[in-house]
Structures are given as structure tokens and as C-alpha cells.
């Protein structure tokens, strides 16, 4: 049994497990709203929008996560500005900025010959290299996420279903939308080291999708999504340890696998339930003598 406990004796593995759990909480809370509001493309765009900032920070010798955070914030602000003032639709604005920021990042990377390693870590994550400072940053991000999501819960719900009602109730749906975009940005930036900008959407979407069939309220779905995310982190890290696979990709793959299994099991239960109800409620056929009137004697 020693080989089962071997990973947990390594400090870097425990730090990765704890950091991944914090990322799972952040992505579970925010990812629930991403799924409810259909904002998956926004998360993907912000993840790619980090590339120019990470590239510039790496070339300048500054922390990559700081450059990525600044770039992601600029991306979010531009999306909000285009949606508010421009004539393009929301997804069109995101698509245009997505391509622009990605192109700018590739141009910057192409001028640096020593960027390959940093680009790989940025795109696919390096959760096994987490430090105590990274854990503290994730803890702060998790607390901010939970506090903001709880404080603006009514606004998020109202804005998700009917913005006119939200305005009538004085809940300011535009502010709620900006706050939600800010939370998505926070999730992408804070998950940067764990799974990278390319795979972060997997942790945002898959745990929330896995939790959806089993819950009927937003807070419960957030809690279950966080639990699914933690399970995916644990399974992914163990797979990485024993199979020698990339940790970030293994976590994302585990999350998507759990989502597929969860929905498959829920589908089987849903198909069997109507069949059982039909069998229970089907009337017993009447005897021939009772179903057809006999001859008068």
C-alpha cells in the first residue's frame, strides 16, 4: 500500500492538491454562472487575451501572472466597452478582440527566442510548481469570489432571467454583468498556473455541467460543482503522478470525464424513471366477461 500513499509524501504534490482545490472552488462558483449565462466563449477569450501581457512580462523580467492579469483586465474592459457603445453583438465583439489579442501575443512571442518554456507553462499550466505565495493568492481569490457571488446573488439571478425585472427591482443588471465579467477574469487569471489559459475553460465548464443534473438551485450547484472540481484535481494529479502525463491536461481531462459520466448516469436514471412510473400506473386489463357486456338472460 506504500505506493498508494507515495504521492502524498511529496510537498510539491500536497501544494498542488491544495492549490487545485482552491482553483476548483473558484471555478465551481463562477463556472456555474458561466454555464447558466452561456458565457463559455468569454472565458476562452479572456484566457487567450492573457497572452500579450504574459509575453511582455516575461520579456521584461516581471512576474508572468501580473502581466497576464493586466492583459485579461484590459480584455474584459474592451469587451464591456464594445458591447456598451458599439453596434456589434456581444459574441462578435468577443470574437474580434479574441483574435486581436491572440495575434498580438503571437507577434510578441515571435520576437523572443527564449519564450518556449514560459509559453508552454502559460498555455497548459504548471500546477506542480506552486509555491506558498501562489497558495495565498489563490486563497484570497477564493474568498473574493465567494463574497462577491454571495453579495450579488440576487442581481445575478435577476439579470440572468429578465433584465427588465432587474431594472424594476433596482438591481442594476449592467453592474451585475460587469461584476460577472470581472469574476470570470479572476477565475481565468487565478487558474492560470494550475491548468493554463487553454485548459481553464475545462475547469470552468465541466464541474458545473457535472453538477447540473443533480441540483435545483444555484448555491447547491456551486457547492457540488466545487466538489466535482476537487475530485477532478485529485484524479488528474494522481494520473499525472503514476502515468507521467501533463498535470494540467490530466486535470482538465478528468473534469470533462466526470461531466460525461455524471450526465450519462443522470440520463439513465431519467429514462428508467418514466418506464417504472408507466408500469406502476398502467391499468390492469379487464377480464373479457367484464369488458364486454354479456347476453341478457
As a whole number, mean pLDDT of residues 213-225 equals 94
Question: Is residue 32 predicted with pLDDT exceeding 70?
Answer: yes
Q: How many structural domains compose the chain?
A: 1
Gyration radius (Cα) of the chain, Å: 24
3-class secondary-structure state, position 268 = helix
Best-predicted range by mean pLDDT among 31-40, 94-103, 207-216?
A: 207-216
Give backbone dihedrals phi and psi of 89, rounded to 5 degrees, phi first. -70, 170
Q: CA 249 to CA 18: how far, in whole Å?
A: 17
26 located within any domain? yes
294 located within any domain? no
Query: CA-CA-CA-CA torsion for 242, 244, 249, 250, nearest 10 degrees?
Result: -10
125 located within any domain? yes
240 located within any domain? yes
Question: Is residue 291 predicted with pLDDT exceeding 60?
Answer: no
Question: Is residue 163 predicted with pLDDT exceeding 60?
Answer: yes
H runs (alpha helix) in the chain: 2-5, 11-37, 40-49, 51-60, 64-85, 90-110, 116-124, 132-151, 153-161, 163-168, 173-190, 192-211, 218-243, 247-281, 288-291
Q: What is the pLDDT of residue 49?
A: 81
CA distances (Å), 102 to each of 45, 73, 75, 91, 234, in order?
A: 9, 15, 11, 16, 31
Owning domain of residue 257: 7-271
Return the CATH number at 159: 1.10.3470.10
As a whole number, mean pLDDT of residues 229-253 equals 91
Q: Which pLDDT tens digit goes with each residue over 95-139?
A: 888 888 878 877 877 776 555 555 666 667 788 888 888 899 899
Q: How confident is the model at residue 215 (pLDDT cuts 50, 70, 90)?
A: very high
**Burial class (CB within 10 angstroms; exposed 0-12, middle 13-18, buried 19+) of 195:** buried
Give the chain's mean pLDDT: 80
252 located within any domain? yes
DSSP 8-state assignment for residue 114? T
Q: Which pLDDT tens digit goes with each residue over 275-288?
A: 555 554 444 454 44
289 located within any domain? no
pTM: 0.81
Question: Is residue 67 predicted with pLDDT exceeding 60?
Answer: yes
The answer to whether 200 and 186 have CB atoms below 8 angstroms apart is no
258 located within any domain? yes
280 located within any domain? no
Q: CA 222 to CA 156: how far, in whole Å?
A: 14
Amino acid at each position: 500500500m506504500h505506493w498508494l500513499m507515495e504521492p502524498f509524501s511529496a510537498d510539491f504534490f500536497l501544494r498542488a492538491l491544495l492549490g487545485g482545490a482552491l482553483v476548483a472552488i473558484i471555478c465551481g462558483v463562477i463556472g456555474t454562472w458561466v454555464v447558466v449565462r452561456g458565457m463559455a466563449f468569454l472565458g476562452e477569450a479572456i484566457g487567450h487575451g492573457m497572452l500579450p501581457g504574459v509575453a511582455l512580462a516575461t520579456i521584461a523580467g516581471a512576474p508572468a501572472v501580473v502581466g497576464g492579469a493586466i492583459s485579461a483586465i484590459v480584455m474584459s474592459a474592451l469587451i464591456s466597452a464594445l458591447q456598451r457603445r458599439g453596434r456589434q453583438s456581444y459574441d462578435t465583439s468577443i470574437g474580434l478582440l479574441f483574435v486581436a489579442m491572440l495575434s498580438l501575443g503571437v507577434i510578441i512571442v515571435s520576437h523572443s527566442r527564449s519564450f518556449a518554456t514560459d509559453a508552454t507553462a502559460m498555455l497548459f499550466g504548471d500546477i506542480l510548481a506552486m509555491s506558498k505565495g501562489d497558495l495565498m493568492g489563490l486563497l484570497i481569490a477564493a474568498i473574493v469570489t465567494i463574497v462577491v457571488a454571495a453579495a450579488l446573488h440576487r442581481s445575478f439571478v435577476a439579470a440572468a432571467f429578465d433584465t427588465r425585472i432587474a431594472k424594476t427591482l433596482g438591481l442594476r443588471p449592467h453592474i451585475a454583468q460587469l461584476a460577472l465579467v470581472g469574476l470570470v477574469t479572476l477565475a481565468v487569471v487565478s487558474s492560470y498556473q494550475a491548468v493554463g489559459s487553454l485548459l481553464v475553460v475545462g475547469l470552468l465548464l465541466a464541474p458545473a455541467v457535472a453538477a447540473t443534473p443533480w441540483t435545483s438551485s444555484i448555491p447547491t450547484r456551486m457547492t457540488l460543482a466545487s466538489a466535482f472540481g476537487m475530485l477532478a484535481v485529485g484524479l488528474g494529479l494522481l494520473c499525472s503522478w503514476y502515468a507521467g502525463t501533463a498535470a494540467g491536461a490530466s486535470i482538465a481531462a478528468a473534469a470533462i470525464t466526470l461531466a460525461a459520466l455524471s450526465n450519462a448516469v443522470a440520463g439513465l436514471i431519467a429514462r428508467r424513471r418514466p418506464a417504472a412510473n408507466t408500469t406502476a400506473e398502467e391499468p390492469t386489463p379487464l377480464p373479457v366477461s367484464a369488458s364486454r357486456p354479456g347476453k341478457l338472460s
